[in-house]
Amino acid sequence: MPRLRDWRELLRWETLLAVILLLVIAVNIQMSPHFLGTRNLVNLFQLSIEKIIVALIMTFIIINGEIDLSVASVMGLSACLFAWLYEQGTPAEVAILAALAAGMLCGAFMGFWIAYANLPSLAVTLAGLILYRGMARILLEDRSVGQFPHWFTRLGQTDQFGPLSFGIVLFVVLFVVALIALHFSAFGRHVYVIGNNRSAARYAGLKVRRTKMALFVLSGLIAGLCGLLLAARLGTVRANAAEEFELDIITMVLLGGVSIFGGTGTMIGVGLSILVVLNLRNGMSLAHYSGNIQTSVVGALLIASVLLPNLLRDARQMWLRRGARRRPRPVAGGQEEEESRQTVDPKPIARS
């Protein structure tokens, strides 16, 4: 069962994450006395709330062996569509539904090419990233649109449920749902198996295409929802809304222990890495590091999140090999086990 094998391995990765999280929090506390204040903690989540919600569905997609680079553009497009429709006089509720539907359509479009035409998701979603951003620009051009109804913008602000915002509550609910779906449902198991080995899954009778399509439609829907959340939070929408969000989102997922090749990763890990990235950004803001530096740090984190497991795995293999060589030969049984682990492992040097 994929879950059991993953637990033991990733328990180590998650412990590492938990340690890093404690470290970051400690540094933050030391740096600013305001860090632990409710206002700051709530802000910590609020400023990135859309990214972390999308990271939940991105986890599924990456474990499934694909990637979706277009999420930020879908967020932008849905926000722009909502704003544009509202500006034209459409009632806000209708505009919201339209934006959600648009998000789903965007996802379905990507999903069709990936699931049914078998195109590589990297290329398709890269095209989607550019295409959807372009469509957002056609709608809003250079303008910014605002003046949304009061009930709408209130959803984006804090102090809705105690000090929490609608977004934060939504995130918590979705996190629990995602956790259950990924680890305790058949659907989740299918996602893992397909990510591990697409052909084997197909031969085993799993509905590969439908699963992939479902995931991308869901991704579009959630991105659409988060676009609306962004519009509510900022109070205005411009064509470059949510630009470059995908860096943070992918970092959160990969840092959480999800392998870019698919097949492994846990929701707990992603949850921890979300906290790490948020705390890191918050700490840097409090220290007045510019947005650019923050983004660079996230970029470095992204690379490290894949580099470190590689190095650890290499180190472990080297250690095992050395251990096997040092042991005296004639002993049977256990010795053979050690040696058999030294399989040829063609390292994937050029897979993207």
Partner 1 sequence: MTSIRRILRPEQIRELSLLLIIVGVVLFFGSQIDNYYTPRTFQRISSSVMIIMVVAVGETLVVLTRNIDLSVSSIVGLTAYVAGQQISQNNDMSPATLIALALGLGAALGLINGLLVAYGNIPAIVVTLGTLAIYRGVLVQYGGSKNILVRDLPDWLVDLPRVNLFTIGEFEIRLLFAVALAIVIVFQLVLVYLAYGRRLYAIGSNPDAAQMAGLPTRRTVLLAFVLCGALSGLGGFMYLARIGTISSNAAQGLHMQVIAAVVVGGVNIFGGSGTMIGMMLGAVLMGILEQSLIRMQINEFWKDAFFGLFILLAVATDALLMNRVRDLWARSAAQLHLARRTAPQKE
Partner 2 sequence: MGTKKVLTSLVLIALLLAPALSVMAQDGPVEAEPGHELNMILLPKDPGNPVFVEAHEGAMEAHEELQNPGELIFTGPSPENAIPGQIEIITSGTTEGVDAIMISANAYEELVPATTAAREAGITIVTWDSPVLPEGEDLFIAQVDFSETGVVMADMALNLLGEEGGQFAILSATPDASNQNAWIEAMQEALASDEKYANLELVDIVYGNDVPEDSYNQALGLVDSHPDLRLIMAPTTVGIAAAAKALQDEGLCGEVLLSGLGLPSEMESFVEAGCAQEFALWSFHDLGYLTYYVSYLLASGQITGEVGESFVAGRMGEYTIEEDPNREGGKRVLMGPFSLYNADNFDEWAGGAEEEEAAEGEDEGVALDGDALINERCTVCHTRDRIDAQDKDEAGWTATVDMMISFGAQLNEEERAAVIQYLVETH
Q: Which residues bind partner 2 (CB under 8 A)?
A: 32, 34, 37, 39-40, 43, 47, 142-144, 146, 234-236, 238, 240, 243-244, 285-286, 288, 290-292, 295
CA within 13 Å, CB half, 127: 12
**Pattern 44-73, partner 1, x by CB under 8 A:** -----------------------x------
CA dihedral 75, 303, 280, 284 (to 10 degrees): -90
> Which residue in the set 105, 108, 131, 324 belongs to the binding site for partner 1 (CB under 8 A)?
131
> Which residue in the set 173, 200, 300, 318 belongs to the binding site for partner 1 (CB under 8 A)?
300
Task: Report the nearest approach of partner 2 to the CB of residue 188 (Å).
Answer: 34
CA within 13 Å, CB half, 124: 20
What DSSP line would sit under 154-207, residue for residue? HHTSS-SBTTB-HHHHHHHHHHHHHHHHHHHSHHHHHHHHHHH-HHHHHHTT--
Buried b (16+ CB within 10 A) or exposed e, 203-213: eeebebbebbb
**Radius of gyration over alpha carbons of the chain, in Å?**
22
Interatomic CA distance for residues 221 and 238, integer angstroms: 20
Task: Report the nearest approach of partner 1 to the CB of residue 327 (Å).
Answer: 28
> Which residue in the set 37, 120, 149, 162 belongs to the binding site for partner 1 (CB under 8 A)?
120
316 lies in the site for partner 1, by CB under 8 A: no
Stretch that binds partner 1, among 47-55, 174-182, 202-210, 247-255 (CB under 8 A): 247-255
Task: Report the nearest approach of partner 2 to the CB of residue 25 (Å).
Answer: 16
Judged by beta carbon, residue 259 or residue 295, the one nearer partner 2 is: 295
Judged by beta carbon, residue 94 or residue 307, the one nearer partner 1 is: 307
Judged by beta carbon, residue 2 or residue 146, the one nearer partner 2 is: 146
Task: Select from partner 2, partner 1, none the partner in contact with residue 247, using the beta carbon and a kind-dependent cut-off of 5 to 8 Å.
Answer: partner 1
Interatomic CA distance for residues 103 and 254, integer angstroms: 24
Judged by beta carbon, residue 129 or residue 206, the one nearer partner 2 is: 129
E-strand ranges in 16-73 read none
3-state DSSP assignment of residue 144: strand
- Region of 242 (left: φ > 0; alpha: ψ -120 to 50; beta: rest) is left
347 lies in the site for partner 1, by CB under 8 A: yes
Q: Which helix (H) or strand (E) holds 237?
A: strand 237-238
Instruction: Tokens for 307, please give them.
Output: 């580099």
> Which residue in the set 18, 92, 101, 119 belongs to the binding site for partner 1 (CB under 8 A)?
119
Residues that bind partner 1 (CB under 8 A): 67, 113, 117-120, 122-124, 126-135, 137-138, 141, 239, 247, 250, 254, 260-261, 290, 292-293, 295-303, 306-307, 310-311, 346-352
